[in-house]
């Protein structure tokens, strides 16, 4: 273990947070927050044990026994990841109005998901995204490819979550980042292995309550403490946004200080709120491309789609989206509160450069909120990352065990073998995710956005056309998938090249128009057009599939 | 049976096929609905999609159409003062105006370290022009005391450190025409570097670019109108759009449920 630790210390970046020691925002082991975290995690594990999966149907789809509101809460909990809890405020803190493209993208996508897919996906009656792809496009190879894509997307998405878990464990336990990722990752892995999706779904409802409460309580305190309309902080912070734009002089809020003794004051900073401020380096194109990519990615994410399999019928799937979106918005309306207070409270250069991804917690600390409540906030951040990671690991394990192993490799596999394979693949995924998370490639929300663009370029076109156009056939699906994957590959190649400071041909053009966080803006339409053209030119979809679409999906 | 089944369309097709009707009818296309339910669903989906797209992207287009680059007051004061400084024709007021503006820019939390250091050099340079040699030497000593004390302390509340900052404020702030009890004075006390003798040619080039970058903003009536305390565009995007998404989703579910009730359409339960 010690050797492993030394290896990690040698090869992985040691610190993510760079807050100055003198500010004491990091500090050492925090007893109160640690107790809160342990209590919450124990609660999750207990619930997981009580509601643990008993067979494969339970494991994959929670026995299809979840109500609309319950499913909505599970959707919200599953959705509200570290990217929502920590990452959105980080983006708004760093790039102002541009960060709102993530808020809009991650909520607006549910409208698309509802009106285009939710009910139909449920009626199709499959367990996983790869199941749908394999059956709809009558191809074992596409099923396998779909499963591999689902696994890759789940891993990409979960990297950001492990990053968030690592940051919060680091803050609470006072240990270094790689060790925090290993400990946090081990806990989430243990929980997922114990429970399966039934436990996960039940847990998600509890997690939602914890996540939203822990996010809301410090927000009320901050708005009340700094003299804004605290009864509805989601509206009350508007005046704080305007204050940042106009500047707050010491005399205006005299007597109000942050925990370091700095006045609650800031120079005029319109770049925080004005659209596409030049200092952020972001343009309207970026805003639109990110929002669009995130929205279509939402409708193509395996672990989101999978949520619709756990409700009894299609109308429940539709209404669960409404409830889910409402529950999600409660957090999304609140996230900017932390960024705006973070901007004001950290505006003195003495505070130093703060790690943006931890700005939610730092803001509460700088606002001199009670340490136990800050601890609850950090535990909420862990819960957010935890709930999503569980869903992702289950989705990835389902793709491997159900779609690859049972449907392609060993159709005769017994249920017990399936469960074991699912658990083995869960462990393998967790190890891969932890290793990538330690590389600290980008902000949490940006890492998650990569997964969205990948889903938008690959799975979304297959579902959209697969449901709504019987003319889309196997050849078209393969061609579309190749087109979408090609765009993905180009974008990610340039991302990695930039990371290692390699300059590839057309570097400026590609990195501007095919940025890793938003390449689906062009990749998805290209995949759809390619699918349509090739489908038109090749042999028609078999009658059995068309018949199934009409009789089962659209009736 | 045909007329009954015709209400929900799809089962019509099933019935017909069981009676050996042409299989060409087994085709689904969103844009060519073959049943009343599909037709209503298509129209509803298209309407909601258009509303959704216009609400999101249409508003951003509006922001772009109406935006105008507007400079902060500090930048308006900085530009002529800085030009005078560079051309060697600056008076004390120019040094003070440029210095104040740069101190204000140092309060921008999104500055990079390199940008902050360039501004530090700029402010130091302005001070070196308004203070006598003796005063500048004293100030440099006082700044060094602050910076070295900062290296040693474990809390920003350290009384010696706080006192040292006050000494710097008392000397530097009046020199730049800044009130000692102001936010700019606070920034000045932590924003000076030990070396205030001069400025590199590189930083002379960089500073106006940094000022331009951080103090020019895209504004219009959409950003300057205040609604419930918010700049309107911010309120629209961060609050109103999300409410609109929920309303769209609720409306879709409500309409589909009503449609199904009207057509006696029962969804399967597995």
Among A14-28, A510-524, B168-182, the least confident range? A14-28
| Prediction ipTM score | 0.89
Decide if B106 and A349 are in contact by the 8 Å CB cutoff: yes
> What pLDDT sits at residue A45?
73
Question: How many Cβ atoms from other residues are within 10 Å of residue A248's Cβ?
Answer: 22
Decide if B246 and A326 are in contact by the 8 Å CB cutoff: yes
For the stretch A59-115, pLDDT in tens is: 555 545 567 788 788 888 888 888 889 999 999 998 899 999 999 999 999 999 899
Residues within 8 A of B (CB atoms), A 381-420 only: none
The model's pTM is: 0.89
- A375: in domain: yes
Q: How many Å lie between the alpha carbon of A319 and the closest alpha carbon of chain B?
A: 6
Residues within 8 A of B (CB atoms), A 312-341 only: 312-315, 318-319, 321-322, 325-326, 329, 332-333, 336
> What pLDDT sits at residue A13?
36
- Listed in sequence order, the DSSP H helices in A226-266 are 233-246
For the stretch B66-100, pLDDT in tens is: 999 999 999 999 999 999 999 989 899 999 999 99
Whether B117 and chain A come into contact, CB under 8 Å, resolves to no
Q: What does chain A come to in residues? A: 555
- A152: in domain: yes
Statement: residue A199 has pLDDT above 70: no
Please give the residue of chain A at the shortest CA–CA distance from B227. A238
- A467: in domain: no
> What pLDDT sits at residue A27?
65
- A540: in domain: no
Using a CB-CB cut-off of 8 Å, the residues of chain A touching B32 are none
Query: CB pairs below 8 Å between A and B: how many?
Result: 246
For the stretch A526-539, pLDDT in tens is: 999 999 999 999 99
> What pLDDT sits at residue B3?
33
Residues within 8 A of A (CB atoms), B 211-270 only: 212-214, 216-219, 223, 226-231, 233-235, 237-239, 241-243, 245-246, 248-250, 252-253, 256-257, 260, 267-270
- A38: in domain: yes
Statement: residue A125 has pLDDT above 90: no
> What pLDDT sits at residue A52?
64
Statement: residue B221 has pLDDT above 80: yes
Mean pLDDT of chain A: 85
Sign of CA dihedral A241, A246, A247, A248: negative
pLDDT band at A412 (very low <50, low <70, confident <90, very high): confident
Which distant-in-sequence residues (6+ apart) come within 8 Å of A461 by Cβ?
A300, A480, A481, A484, A524, A527, A528, A531
Decide if B253 and A114 are in contact by the 8 Å CB cutoff: yes
Among A201-205, A502-506, A534-538, B241-245, the least confident range? A201-205
> What pLDDT sits at residue A20?
47
Q: How many Å lie between the alpha carbon of A98 and the closest alpha carbon of chain B?
A: 11
pLDDT band at A10 (very low <50, low <70, confident <90, very high): very low
Identify the domain containing residue A269 by its residue range: 28-445
> What pLDDT sits at residue A474?
96
Decide if A245 and B267 are in contact by the 8 Å CB cutoff: no
- A6: in domain: no
Assigned token pair, A104:
């809009």
User: Can you give the residue ranges of every domain in chain B?
Assistant: 30-67+222-262, 72-218
- A527: in domain: no
How big is the CA angle at A99 (ends A96 and A458), to the nearest 5 degrees?
160
Place of tokens 């968030």: A164
Statement: residue B253 has pLDDT above 50: yes
| Probe site for chain B from A115, A256, A265, A320 (most B CB atoms < 10 A) | A115
CA nearest neighbour of B214 among B71, B63, B66, B68: B71
Please give the residue of chain B at the shortest CA–CA distance from A552. B268
pLDDT band at A8 (very low <50, low <70, confident <90, very high): very low
What's the rounded mean pLDDT across residues B236-248?
A: 97
Place of tokens 């000692």: B180
Decide if A275 and B218 are in contact by the 8 Å CB cutoff: yes
CA-CA distance, A87 to A384, in Å (whole number)?
11
Statement: residue B13 has pLDDT above 50: no
pLDDT band at B8 (very low <50, low <70, confident <90, very high): very low
For the stretch A471-508, pLDDT in tens is: 999 999 999 999 999 999 999 999 989 888 899 999 99
Statement: residue A353 has pLDDT above 60: yes
Which distant-in-sequence residues (6+ apart) come within 8 Å of A28 by Cβ?
A174
Place of tokens 């998805």: A524
CA dist list (Å): A507 to A450, A495, A496, A513, A516: 19, 10, 12, 10, 13
Instruction: Report the domain count for chain A.
Output: 1
Residues within 8 A of B (CB atoms), A 428-467 only: none
What's the rounded mean pLDDT across residues A290-307?
A: 86
CA-CA distance, B30 to B48, in Å (whole number)?
15
> What pLDDT sits at residue A300?
85
Q: What is the CATH number of the domain that holds A386?
A: 1.20.1730.10
> What pLDDT sits at residue A356?
86
- A7: in domain: no
């Amino acid at each position: 273990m010690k050797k492993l630790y030394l290896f990690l210390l040698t090869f992985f970046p040691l610190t993510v947070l760079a807050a100055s020691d003198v500010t004491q925002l990091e500090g050492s082991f925090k007893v109160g927050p640690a107790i809160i975290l342990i209590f919450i995690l124990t609660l999750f594990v207990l619930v997981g044990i009580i509601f643990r999966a008993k067979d494969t149907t339970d494991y994959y789809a929670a026995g299809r026994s979840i109500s609309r509101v319950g499913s909505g809460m599970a959707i919200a909990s599953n959705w509200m990841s570290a990217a929502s809890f920590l990452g959105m405020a980080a983006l708004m803190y760093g790039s102002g109005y541009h960060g709102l493209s993530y808020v809009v993208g991650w909520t607006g996508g549910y409208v698309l998901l509802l009106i285009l897919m939710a009910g139909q996906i449920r009626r199709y009656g499959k367990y996983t995204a790869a199941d749908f792809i394999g059956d709809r496009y009558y191809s074992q190879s596409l099923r396998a490819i779909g499963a591999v894509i689902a696994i890759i997307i789940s891993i990409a998405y979960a990297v950001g979550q492990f990053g968030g878990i690592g940051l919060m464990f680091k803050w609470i336990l006072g240990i270094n980042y790689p060790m925090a990722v290993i400990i946090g990752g081990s806990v989430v892995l243990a929980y997922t292995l114990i429970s399966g999706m039934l436990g996960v779904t039940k847990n998600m409802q509890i997690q939602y309550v914890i996540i939203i409460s822990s996010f809301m309580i410090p927000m009320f305190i901050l708005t009340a403490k700094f003299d804004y309309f605290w009864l509805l902080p989601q509206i009350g912070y508007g005046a704080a946004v305007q204050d940042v734009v106009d500047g707050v002089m010491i005399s205006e809020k005299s007597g109000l200080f942050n925990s370091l003794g700095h006045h609650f004051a800031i120079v005029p900073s319109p770049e925080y709120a004005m659209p596409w401020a030049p200092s952020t380096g972001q343009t309207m194109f970026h805003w639109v491309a990110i929002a669009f990519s995130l929205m279509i990615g939402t409708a193509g994410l395996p672990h989101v789609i999978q949520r619709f399999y756990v409700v009894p019928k299609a109308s429940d799937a539709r209404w669960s989206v409404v409830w889910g979106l409402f529950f999600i918005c409660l957090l999304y309306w609140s996230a900017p509160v932390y960024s705006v207070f973070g901007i004001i409270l950290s505006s003195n250069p003495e505070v130093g450069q703060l790690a943006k991804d931890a700005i939610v917690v730092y803001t509460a600390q700088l606002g001199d909120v009670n340490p136990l409540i800050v601890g609850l906030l950090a535990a909420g951040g862990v819960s957010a990352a935890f709930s999503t990671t569980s869903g992702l690991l289950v989705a990835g394990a389902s793709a491997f065990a159900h779609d690859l192993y049972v449907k392609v490799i060993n159709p005769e596999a017994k249920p017990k073998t399936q469960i074991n394979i699912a658990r083995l693949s869960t462990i393998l995924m967790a190890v891969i995710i932890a290793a990538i998370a330690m590389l600290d490639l980008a902000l949490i929300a940006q890492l998650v956005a990569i997964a969205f663009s990948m889903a938008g370029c690959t799975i979304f076109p297959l579902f959209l056309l697969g449901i709504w156009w019987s003319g889309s056939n196997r050849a078209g699906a393969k061609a579309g998938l190749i087109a979408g994957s090609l765009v993905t590959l180009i974008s990610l190649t340039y991302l990695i090249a930039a990371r290692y400071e390699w300059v590839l041909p057309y570097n400026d053009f590609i990195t501007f128009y095919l940025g890793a966080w938003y390449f689906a803006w062009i990749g998805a339409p290209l995949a759809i057009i390619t699918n349509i053209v090739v489908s038109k030119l090749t042999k028609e979809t078999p009658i059995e599939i068309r018949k199934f679409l009409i009789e089962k999906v659209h009736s | 049976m045909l007329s009954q089944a015709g209400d929900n369309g799809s089962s019509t097709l099933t019935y017909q096929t069981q009676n050996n009707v042409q299989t060409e009818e087994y085709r689904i296309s969103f844009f060519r609905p073959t049943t009343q339910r599909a037709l209503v669903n298509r129209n509803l989906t298209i309407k909601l999609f258009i509303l959704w797209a216009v609400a999101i992207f249409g508003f951003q287009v509006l922001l772009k159409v109406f935006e105008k680059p507007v400079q902060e007051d500090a930048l308006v004061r900085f530009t002529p003062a800085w030009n005078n400084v560079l051309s060697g024709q600056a008076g004390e007021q120019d040094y003070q105006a440029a210095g104040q503006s740069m101190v204000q820019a140092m309060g921008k939390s999104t500055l990079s370290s390199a940008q902050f250091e360039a501004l530090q050099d700029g402010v130091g340079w302005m001070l070196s022009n308004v203070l006598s040699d003796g005063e500048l030497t004293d100030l440099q000593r006082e700044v060094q005391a602050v910076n070295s004390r900062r290296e040693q302390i474990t809390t920003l509340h350290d009384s010696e450190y706080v006192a040292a900052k006050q000494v710097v404020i008392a000397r530097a702030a009046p020199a730049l025409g800044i009130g000692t009890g102001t936010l700019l004075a606070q920034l000045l006390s932590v924003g000076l570097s030990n070396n205030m003798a001069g400025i590199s040619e590189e930083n002379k080039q960089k500073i106006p670019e940094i000022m331009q970058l951080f103090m020019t903003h895209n504004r219009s009536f959409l950003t300057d109108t205040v609604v419930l305390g918010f700049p309107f565009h911010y309120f629209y995007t961060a609050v109103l759009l999300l409410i609109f998404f929920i309303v769209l989703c609720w409306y879709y579910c409500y309409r589909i449920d009503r449609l199904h009730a009207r057509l006696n359409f029962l969804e399967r339960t597995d």
